[in-house]
Amino acid sequence: MHMVKTDVATARRQLSSPNKVTRRRALRTIKARLRNGRSSGFQVNCKWHTSVKFFKTTIYHYFANKEAVVCELLVEGNTLFLQALQQRVDEAQAAGLNALDTLKTVSDAYVRFGTANPEYYNILFISNLESVSLVSLIDSGRFKGFELLEAGLKAAMEEGCIIQGDERLIASSVWSMLHGLTSLFLNFELPMAKSNDELIAFTIDTFLMGLSR
């Protein structure tokens, strides 16, 4: 069946539509299913239709098609993720922190967002919904968080806080570390640390120390 691509502008309009409450109730249920691992890829099925009191024949009064649901989840999640990171950048700059400490702050924000919002983290970085939909990585806004991290690394290089090198390669390495740490918190008990705060700070400090001059 041919599926029409849903663009970001449409998704944003739909989020503020008159049916916003009902639509958000549906999205909450879908996020919960993804969080609990009950949806492989993304299957629009009877179970979640029933749980949000939709009839299958009327679900698309609220969503144009499956792509519209996926697009809204990705746009909303990536927007909140970027806001969380940018807020910490703004706070760090307002406090007069140097580029390396700002980078540590952004790295901490990444892990905090994931642990505080496991359903969004699953949707954005584990379920990989773009791979099973027509929503592109660019349209969904996923690259924006990575670009913010990359910009922080470039600033740290310019200040001489870390080694010079391929910004994209180093950013990918840091991102991989943060994703691994966040995934551990979401999937395993970690008794080796006194607290999650201690492990987050130690891991980020140790990793970035390896990039320092």
Closest CA to 77 of 124, 17, 13: 124
Q: Which pLDDT band, with edges at 50, 70 and 90, does 58 fall under?
A: low
**pLDDT band for position 44 (cuts 50, 70, 90):** very low
Residue 2 domain flag: no
- Residue 118 in any domain: the answer is yes
Cα–Cα distance between 53 and 56 in angstroms, integer?
Answer: 10
Report the number of distinct structural domains present in the chain.
Answer: 1
Q: Work out the pLDDT band at 206, boundaries 50, 70, 90.
A: very high
pLDDT for position 189: 75
- Local structure of 161: helix, strand or coil: coil
Express each pLDDT in 158-182 by its tens digit.
999 998 888 889 999 999 999 999 9
Tokens coding 36? 């609990």
189 backbone dihedrals φ, ψ, rounded to 5°: -85, 135
Sign of the CA dihedral 153, 159, 163, 165? positive
CATH number of the domain bearing residue 109: 1.10.357.10
Whether the CB-CB separation of 141 and 79 falls below 8 Å is answered with yes
Q: What is the pLDDT of residues 82-113, one digit of tens each?
A: 999 999 999 999 999 999 999 999 999 999 99
Predicted local confidence at residue 97, as pLDDT: 96
Residue 213 has pLDDT above 60, yes or no: yes
pLDDT at 136 over 90: no
**Cα(203)–Cα(93) distance, integer angstroms:** 23
Q: What is the pLDDT of residue 41?
A: 43
Provide the whole-model pTM. 0.73
pLDDT band at residue 125 using 50, 70 and 90 as cut-offs: confident
Domain residue limits at 186: 8-209
Q: Quick one: 122 exposed, middle or buried, by C-beta within 10 A (0-12, 13-18, 19+)?
A: buried
CB-based contact 197:136 (threshold 8 Å): no
Structure tokens at 200: 């987050």
- Asked if residue 3 is part of any domain, the answer here is no
Who wins on pLDDT, 150 or 60? 150
